[in-house]
Chains A and B, each alone.
Chain A
Amino acid sequence: MLRKRLITVLTFNEGVLFRTKLFTPDYRYTANFVDAWSIDEIVVLDITRDRRGKEERFAEVVSGFASRCFVPLAAGGGIRSVADVRRYLGYGADKVVVNTGALERPELITEVATLFGSQCVVASIDAKRTDDGHYDVHAACGTHATGRDAVAWAQEAEERGAGEVLITAMDRDGHLQGYDLDLCRRVADAVSVPVLILGGAGNWNHFLAGFVEGDASAVCTQNIYHFTEKSISSAKKFLIEAGVPVRL
C-alpha cells in the first residue's frame, strides 16, 4: 500500500534558510530543523530575488542536502530552461519544481518531461482565491496575477507532462490556520497525478484534513516544525492513529 507523504519545503534567500509569510522572507533561521530520518521528501526553493552571481549559494544548499539526506529531493526557483533543469539535477536534485517559467512558456514542462521523464517535473501553482470563488494563478513569487484558473492550469500541466502538482494557497502562507481544502480537493479531482498541498498547516489535524478532505497525496510544511517542540515522527504517529497510512 502506498503511504501518504509528509514533505518539508525549505526556502532559501541567497543561500540562507528563511521562513516565509505571505510569500515574503519573514524570518531567518540559523539552524536546520529537518528531521532527516522521519521526513519523506524534501523540497528546496531558491527565493532569491536577483540571482545573478549568486547561483553558487543555492547550488551548495542543494548539493548539501543531496549528499546527506537519502530521501527524494526536489529543487526549484527560477527554472526557465532545460539548461536550468540540467544544472539543478547536476547539483543532486531528483526532480525540479517549475512555476513562473512554465507560466511564461508552458512548453517548458513538456521539454523537461520528454528529456527527464514526468516524474522529474513538479508543477508548482501559487493560487489566490477570487471573489467569485475561483482560484487565480500568480507568477513571480506571487507578485503577478496571471488570470489563469488554477484548476485548469493544473490540468494543462498534467497534460504537458508534469508528474506531480504542488498547489499553494497564497493567502494561507505562514498563517498556520490550515490548508485550503477546497482548493486542494478541486485540483485533486481534476488531475490524476499526485497532488501536494502547501500553505497554512499549523497542527497535525490540518495534515489529517489535507489527506482526508483535500485528497492530497502529500502534505507540505514550511514553518510548522519551527513553532513546535513536536517532531515529524509524532505527527506521523498521530496520523496512523487517525487511520492515515504514513511511513513511520
Chain B
Amino acid sequence: MIGIVDYGLGNLVSVAAAVARLGFEATVSAEAEVLWDCDKIILPGVGAFGDGMRNLEERELVAPLTRMVKDDGKPILGICLGSQLISRASDEFGLCQGLGWVDAHCQRLAPDEPGLRVPHVGWNDLIQVRDDPLFQNIPEDALFYYVHSYFVKPEDSDLVVGECDYGGRMASVLRRENICATQFHPEKSQRHGLTLLRNFLDSA
C-alpha cells in the first residue's frame, strides 16, 4: 500500500491517479496510523512552504512522519512543495522551519539571465548528475514538468542526484538513503514521469 499524505495542499487526485495507473494500491490519508501501515509514502504538494508546515503540524503529522522516515527507514518521495518541506528551512514569506530531514535550504528563484520568468513553469531537463534507482530507463533527454518559484539548495552536494538549468543549475532530484524528492511533478510528466514514479514504487 502506498500512502499519499493529505495535508490539505496539492494535487492529490493527480498523484493518486498516476499511482493507480501504475497498478499500485494507494490511500490518501492525513492519519498517521494509516500512513504507518503503508510500505511507501508520497509527500506531494503545491503551494506555500509556511502553509505546508502549518498544515502538517495541525494534522499532527510532523513527528510521526519524521519517525517513519528517519527511524523506521520508510521510503518517501517528496514532490514539488513536498521536496522542499524535507529541508531545514525556507525563505518563503519570511524564514520558515521545515521538516529538516536533509541539510538544505529553500531560496527564491532568481534566474541569472534576462527573459527568464518566475515562476519557472513548463518542461525542462533532468540532468542526471549521479546514478540513482529513480533514473532507471529514463533517457538523458527526458523532460519533466516544473512549476515553482522556490528551489532547494542543499548544503551537501552529495544530496543532489538530478539538476536542471534555469538561468543557472539547480537541484531537481535529491536522494539521501530512503528519502528522495523531485522538484518537478512526475505525475504530470507523462511517460517519463510515470517511469520515474514506477521506479520509486518498485524499489525495495
Contacts from A to B (Cβ < 8 Å): 1-5, 37, 40, 63, 66-67, 70-73, 89-92, 94, 114-120, 163-164, 192-194, 215, 217-218, 247
Task: Tell whether, in the assembled complex, residue A194 and residue B11 are in contact, meaning their CB atoms are under 8 Å apart.
Answer: no
Number of A-B contacts (CB under 8 A): 102
Give the one of A63, A70, A71, A94 with max B CB within 10 A: A70
CB nearest neighbor in B for A73: B14
Top 6 nearest A-B pairs (CB, nearest first) are A117-B47, A92-B13, A247-B123, A119-B147, A3-B123, A67-B17
* CB of B187, distance to nearest CB on chain A (Å): 6
Contacts from B to A (Cβ < 8 Å): 9, 11, 13-14, 17-18, 20-21, 46-48, 51, 81, 115-125, 143, 145-149, 165-166, 185, 187-191, 193-194
Which residue of A2, A37, A215 is within 8 Å of B116 (Cβ)?
A2
Known: A72-B188, A119-B147. A40 touches B51 (CB 8 A): no
Task: Tell whether, in the assembled complex, residue B48 and residue A114 are in contact, meaning their CB atoms are under 8 Å apart.
Answer: yes
| Contacts A/B (CB < 8 Å), 7 sampled | A2-B122, A67-B20, A72-B188, A94-B14, A118-B119, A163-B121, A192-B117
Task: Tell whether, in the assembled complex, residue A116 and residue B46 are in contact, meaning their CB atoms are under 8 Å apart.
Answer: yes
Known: A94-B11, A247-B143. A217 touches B190 (CB 8 A): no
Task: Tell whether, in the assembled complex, residue A217 and residue B145 are in contact, meaning their CB atoms are under 8 Å apart.
Answer: no
Task: Tell whether, in the assembled complex, residue B47 and residue A72 are in contact, meaning their CB atoms are under 8 Å apart.
Answer: no
Determine the chain A residues whose CB is within 8 A of the CB of B48 once the complex forms: 114, 117
Determine the chain A residues whose CB is within 8 A of the CB of B11 once the complex forms: 89, 92, 94
Which residue of A72, A91, A116, A193 is within 8 Å of B145 (Cβ)?
A72
Determine the chain A residues whose CB is within 8 A of the CB of B187 once the complex forms: 70
Determine the chain A residues whose CB is within 8 A of the CB of B9 once the complex forms: 116-117
CB nearest neighbor in B for A36: B190
Determine the chain A residues whose CB is within 8 A of the CB of B13 once the complex forms: 63, 66, 89-92
Determine the chain B residues whose CB is within 8 A of the CB of A163 once the complex forms: 119, 121, 147
